[in-house]
Structure 1
Amino acid sequence: MRGKLHPLLDEALEAHGGHDHWRNFKGIASTILTGGRLWELKGTPLTPVPRTRVTPFGEPDWTMTWTPEHVEITAGDGSIIAERDNGREAFDRSFNGRWDPLNLAYFNGYAMWTYHATPFVFGEPGYEAREIAPIENEGQTLRGVAVLFPESVHSHTREQRFYFGSDGLLRRQDYTVDVWADTPAAHFTSDYVDVDGLKYPTRRSVFTIKSDGTLARDFNAVTIDLSDYALF
């Protein structure tokens, strides 16, 4: 049984469809079209993917499967093309450092899990929240909460900041990317759709944040278009 939630997270979970309703499903799938400058910088072009099981990946019949402890790329016949344990330790963490396919698989795996699971997963045990100052975005005041993820959960970094609109929906998520030179980023979500009673965004856009706190609008690191959501 979960403990008492921060009031803003409690409101946000209800606005997104509710933690209890989310728990009725075992998983979610979506079609994802990803762009942005990060993939060119890291030398790793990305193909459309469903959830954290990515196919195609590199070749038409290859599939990537990610878990926090293990990532692997397999061929259509089931043979293993490449695999790696403890993928978080294998990165060149410099800003311009290149990523190999297993680096990409690990990054894409944990990132897409985070994006599909939040904010619902905050109703699970082990997440800690504290209120932070609101921010302004396109004429709206967004209320904020900083969430500390459990140590066992793999994501961009342990503490991330989440900002919600007056409707309770997530509009912005700020974090530093540990595996990418601790680069600070602002992640915007929009164009929500209803999926079996749960609310999910169909547009995501990520910008790096400059040292003065402003967005690097000339560096749109990642864009994500989502469609064909399915809960199962």
Structure 2
Amino acid sequence: MALLDDAIDACGGLAHWSSLSRFTLHLSVGGTLFSDAGHASEFKDVTAEGSTQTQSVRFTGMTGGEQSGAFQPDAVTIESLDGQVLRTWRNPTLAFPTNGTHALADELHLVFFCGVQIWNYLTTPFLLAHPDVVVEELPPWQEHGEIWRRLRAQFPPSLVSLASEQVFYFDGNALQRRTDHDLLGAPVAHFSWAHENFSGIVVPTLRRTLTQQADGTVVAKPVLVDVEIFDAVFE
């Protein structure tokens, strides 16, 4: 597909991506989803390390550097700095408790949410070339006077994602600028920009998640999720 090929080439090319196995990020994650759950500073200034090819992320520096958290599709763990497993959530899902508590109140749910989000965020658009992801191009979209091309992707159950169906927007340089999907029961739009080249891979270093309205426009505030990547290494 022409748009997907353009997007992959703009971010470093599939051959280069396929030669990589690991990533290390220095980043902060926040927003009202975190502060409303009582975790305003939980993921401020953390390190995320993981696999580029399989869904696996470990966060160090959580809770002021006192704990680490690890996400894999079959288990989420909270660990001490010396590697002792303190808590485990096996076979995690996005079906968070609906008993009146905030969906991200539990740190295990927070690590799961961040692990899924950061891994999928970092591996796109290469992830869209996965043989089990069904992709189709949609009509273009106008955003603040710019024409952005769009892809709709259907993710299989074997790939953990925040939503099984998502729409990705790419600017005139074929760089990803927006992603739409439902999040915790409401439509949202993730905007990304400030792309930088790290180890030959182009990554948007800023990302903001906003509430989406019925016509596709967004509400400027509150910022539900706020991601800033300070540095990235791929190897």
Normalising to structure 2: TM-score of the pair? 0.89
Alignment partner, residue 202 of structure 1: 205
Decide whether the 8 Å contact of 1:38 with 1:221 is kept in 2.
yes
Give 2:2's aligned amino acid: P
**Distance in 1 of aligned mates of 2:122 and 2:179:** 13
- For this pair of structures, how many residues does the alignment match? 224
Query: After TM superposition, which residue ranges in structure 1, 4 or more long, deviate above 6 angstroms?
Result: none
Moved more, 54-63 or 146-155: 54-63
1:16 aligns with 2:11: yes
**Distance in 2 of aligned mates of 1:61 and 1:118:** 31
Q: 1:109 aligns with which of 92, 112, 115?
A: 115
Q: 1:13 to 1:185 in 2, by over 3 A?
A: same
**Distance in 1 of aligned mates of 2:227 and 2:27:** 7
1:147 aligns with 2:153: yes
**Distance in 1 of aligned mates of 2:13 and 2:140:** 23
Q: 1:171 to 1:67 in 2, by over 3 A?
A: same
Aligned residues: percent identity?
A: 29
Alignment partner, residue 175 of structure 1: 181
Moved more, 161-170 or 53-62: 53-62
Decide whether the 8 Å contact of 1:37 with 1:220 is kept in 2.
yes
Give 2:46's aligned amino acid: V
Q: Deviations over 1:108-142 (max 9, x none)?
A: 11111101111112222211111212211122110
**Distance in 2 of aligned mates of 1:64 and 1:149:** 25
1:92 aligns with 2:89: no
| Deviation for aligned residue 1:80 | 1.5
**Distance in 1 of aligned mates of 2:24 and 2:86:** 24
Q: Deviations over 1:44-98 (max 9, x none)?
A: 2332333331112235231101101100011122222111112216612589734
| Deviation for aligned residue 1:225 | 1.1
**Distance in 1 of aligned mates of 2:205 and 2:173:** 17
1:49 aligns with 2:46: yes
Alignment partner, residue 52 of structure 2: none
Alignment partner, residue 88 of structure 2: 83
Give 1:17's aligned amino acid: G
Decide whether the 8 Å contact of 2:47 with 2:61 is kept in 1.
no
| Deviation for aligned residue 1:172 | 0.7
Q: 1:36 aligns with which of 28, 31, 35?
A: 31
**Distance in 2 of aligned mates of 1:172 and 1:222:** 14
| Deviation for aligned residue 1:26 | 0.3
Partner SS state of residue 116, structure 2? helix
Decide whether the 8 Å contact of 1:90 with 1:103 is kept in 2.
no
Give 1:12's aligned amino acid: A
Normalising to structure 1: TM-score of the pair? 0.90
**Distance in 1 of aligned mates of 2:94 and 2:190:** 24
Please, what is the CA RMSD of the aligned residues? 1.8
| Deviation for aligned residue 1:147 | 0.8
Give 1:187's aligned amino acid: H
Decide whether the 8 Å contact of 1:143 with 1:165 is kept in 2.
yes
1:164 aligns with 2:152: no
Q: Which runs of 5+ in 2 are unaligned?
A: 49-56
Q: 1:68 to 1:131 in 2, by over 3 A?
A: same
**Distance in 1 of aligned mates of 2:99 and 2:37:** 10
Moved more, 35-44 or 102-111: 35-44
Alignment partner, residue 223 of structure 2: 220
